[in-house]
Amino acid sequence: MKKNFLSGRNFRIMAVCFAFVIAFDVVFHVPVTEWIRLLFCLGIVLSLEMVNISIEKVIDPFDPKSSKVAGAVLINFLHQTFGIF
């Protein structure tokens, strides 16, 4: 995870945004069930971003403009944000 944080710009942006979300949840006293949902969603999105970074490192030498996996991460993020709640 440390390598992904250091090498992936999008991963760093997501991690910082998720830290803000967690801070706001602490401030506004979010119920435990919402915490569980939130942590589940954050875990899925961050793990898919790590998969995306790994696949991009393998594919980039052959096709540097390919970003099909990034689209899957975006779709999952939108689903997690608007589909579950």
- pTM of the entire predicted model: 0.66
Give the per-residue pLDDT at 27.
Answer: 92
pLDDT tens column, 29-74: 889 898 888 888 888 888 887 787 777 777 777 776 666 677 777 7
Q: Domain spans of the chain? A: 2-82
Q: What tokens does 4 get?
A: 């992904």
Give the per-residue pLDDT at 85.
Answer: 44
Phi and psi at 61, nearest 5°, equal -60, -25
pLDDT tens column, 32-43: 898 888 888 888
Helix, strand, coil percentages (3-state) for the chain, rounded to 5, are: 80, 0, 20
